[in-house]
Structure formats: structure tokens, C-alpha cells
């Protein structure tokens, strides 16, 4: 158990922060509400999505259930791998990175699995936690809460660019959450430091 203290602490810390922020947004903002954190380049902007990280979606009820089941299976696999790494005394950086991926996956699974059951909807109203009339969706049909929006700069694609020429763009357009960030940073860390993390196997 001692070897698992670090990953357990990381997963719990990220989950608590992720869920606390999501619950605050859900119970204090309506869909589409936003406020500036820093100037015109960092906003808390409340959106919900049915799908993957950064607002990407997999269509329909079948897609929603498939994605939820896939996430659960993936989490089981990550937990198994993380326990294996801890027992093998793998590099701390690798354990931290995998723990971040696990925490992010769990954070979004909680939304998908339970938010539809414990919240009412956020369309033109601020949602309530455990409303009298029940939630807005059954088990595994909840929507993921996103809030971080960084429109760092905007512009227009040059006219000579096929398909996109003359259209306006904003960078960075996707709205995301702490769980998404945790998954992304964990995967990037593994990719960047893979030679160090896996040097015994190379």
C-alpha cells in the first residue's frame, strides 16, 4: 500500500479540485454564462458536452453509452498498469503522469455517469444539486461540465488557404476542464520523457 500512496494522493487531489469546480459552475451559472478571469484571454465559460475531451462528441445515445463504457474499461486498465508500475518501483515521473491520466479519466466519468442523475438541467436556469423532480438524464447519460476558455488571439485565414480562406478563427477555441488538462499533461509528459521513463526496456 505504501507504494501506492503517491498515485492515490495525486488522483484524489485532482478529483477533488475537478469536481469542486464543476459543482460550483453547475450550481452558480447557466449554460453560456461566462466571466473574465484575466482580461480578454482567460474566461470561465460554462458549456456541457456529451463526448470526449475539449468538447469533441460521439453522436447519439449509442455513442454516449459506448464512450462511457470505453472510459470505464480504460480506467480499469490504467489502474492495473499503475499498480504494476508502483510494485516495480518505476520512475516517479511515470507514476505521476499515469496517475494524472487516471484522475482525468475518472473526473469525466463521474460527470457522465452521475451528473444527469443528481442535477437538473442548466438551460436558462441555474441547476440544483439533488433536485426534488430528479435529474435531467439517467445513469451514464450525463453531460461533462467544461469551463476553461482561452481565446488568446483571433484573426482571419488568408484567402489562398483551401476551404478556410477568409473565415475568422479564434485560438484557442475549445472549452475544457481540469480533468481534460490532467489527461493532456499526463500524456504529454509520458511522450516527452519516454526515453527516461522506459530506459530499462529500450
List the catalytic residues.
146, 180
Residue 68 neighbours by CB under 8 Å, 6+ apart:
109, 112, 113, 140
State the residue for C-alpha cell 474566461. 43
Select from 41, 44, 170, 182 the least CA-distant residue to 108: 182
Cβ contact 55:72 at 8 Å: no
In DSSP terms, 45 is beta-bridged to 34
Rounded-to-integer distance, Cα 202 and Cα 195, Å: 8
Select from 150, 141, 147 the least CA-distant residue to 47: 147
Q: Estimate the crossing angle of helix 60-87 against helix 92-110, to 10 degrees.
A: 150
| DSSP secondary structure, 17-44, as one string | HHHHHHHHHHHH--TT-EEEEETTTEEE
C-alpha 187: how far from chain center = 13
Cβ contact 118:143 at 8 Å: no
Amino acid at each position: 500500500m505504501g507504494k501506492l500512496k503517491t498515485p492515490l494522493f495525486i488522483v484524489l487531489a485532482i478529483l477533488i479540485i475537478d469536481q469542486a469546480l464543476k459543482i460550483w459552475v453547475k450550481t452558480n451559472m447557466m449554460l453560456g454564462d461566462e466571466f473574465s478571469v484575466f482580461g480578454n484571454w482567460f474566461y470561465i465559460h460554462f458549456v456541457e458536452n456529451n463526448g470526449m475531451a475539449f468538447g469533441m462528441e460521439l453522436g447519439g445515445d449509442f455513442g454516449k453509452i459506448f464512450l462511457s463504457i470505453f472510459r470505464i474499461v480504460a480506467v480499469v486498465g490504467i489502474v492495473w498498469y499503475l499498480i504494476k508500475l508502483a510494485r516495480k518501483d518505476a520512475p516517479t515521473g511515470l507514476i505521476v503522469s499515469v496517475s494524472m491520466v487516471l484522475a482525468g479519466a475518472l473526473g469525466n466519468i463521474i460527470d457522465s455517469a452521475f451528473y444527469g442523475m443528481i442535477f437538473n438541467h442548466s438551460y436558462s436556469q441555474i441547476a440544483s444539486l439533488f433536485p426534488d423532480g430528479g435529474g435531467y438524464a439517467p445513469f451514464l447519460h450525463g453531460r461533462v461540465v467544461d469551463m476553461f476558455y482561452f481565446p488568446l488571439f483571433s484573426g482571419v485565414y488568408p484567402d489562398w488557404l483551401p476551404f478556410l480562406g477568409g473565415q475568422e478563427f479564434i485560438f484557442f477555441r475549445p472549452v475544457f476542464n481540469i480533468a481534460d488538462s490532467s489527461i493532456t499533461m499526463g500524456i504529454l509528459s509520458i511522450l516527452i520523457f519516454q526515453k527516461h521513463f522506459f530506459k530499462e526496456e529500450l
